[in-house]
Chains A and B, each alone.
Chain A
Amino acid sequence: DAGVTQSPTHLIKTRGQQVTLRCSPKSGHDTVSWYQQALGQGPQFIFQYYEEEERQRGNFPDRFSGHQFPNYSSELNVNALLLGDSALYLCASSLITGSGIGYTFGSGTRLTVV
């Protein structure tokens, strides 16, 4: 049973560029949430996708956008990158109904903006 798969694992981009991060959820999960984790901090919620729609959004600017595909996989896009966007981006999948099994996180994409 595959867990959550994220790609790429590491990425270096220049300020002002755009980036797309990808996530394949755990088999059987229908919901994907994206988190940003700066060094030494807890994960900060970016948004959540369910049934190919953005259900909720955290306090992130419109430069952050996403998409969920019919197979439940998801993408996170960040435009006009800033140095402050450097962080670990985590994808977490779950069942929308909960079930008490928690989120399953991917290994993350380490984004460095220079």
Chain B
Amino acid sequence: GQQVMQIPQYQHVQEGEDFTTYCNSSTTLSNIQWYKQRPGGHPVFLIQLVKSGEVKKQKRLTFQFGEAKKNSSLHITATQTTDVGTYFCAIPRSNDYKLSFGAGTTVTVRA
């Protein structure tokens, strides 16, 4: 079945710096979703990307879907302590509605 790899698993960032987390699939995706889970919390939907090469921004967060629709990235600029948490990408499995989650990138911020 479709699986998605997320890298890096952990990201330690100095406050104010930028970072990027990546999500890679071996197969072409119909769409990809991103979620954020704060420590002790539950996943919260951030965005869905559908089109090849699509770029969407939410304030300091920039989401991109690759041209081949096999990978995606989340770039955060000027990291703040509020960005702490685990970022998951999630992909639909072919021919059904199940969402499969990656292992996540856990972000910590040094003040």
Contacts and interface: CB of A to CB of B under 8 A. Distances in A.
A33 B97 CA distance: 10
Contact of A58 (B44, B50, B98): B98
A41 B103 contact: yes
A103 B33 CA distance: 9
A45 B98 contact: yes
DSSP class of B's interface residues: helix, strand, loop or mixed?
A: strand
B97 A55 contact: yes
B33 A42 contact: no
B34 to A, nearest CB: 9
A103 B99 contact: yes
A56 B96 CA distance: 8
B42 A108 contact: yes
Interface residues of B, number: 23
A33 B99 contact: yes
Contacts of A41: 103-104
B24 interface: no
B48 A100 contact: yes
A96 to B, nearest CB: 7
A102 interface: yes
A90 to B, nearest CB: 6
A90 B97 contact: no
Contacts of B50: 100
Interface string B38-68: 0001111111101000000000000000000
B42 A107 contact: yes
Contacts of B90: 103
Nearest to B45: A102
Interface in B3-53: 31, 33, 35, 41-48, 50
Interface of B: 31, 33, 35, 41-48, 50, 88, 90, 96-104
Interface of A: 31, 33, 35, 41-45, 48, 55-56, 58, 90, 92, 96, 98, 100-108
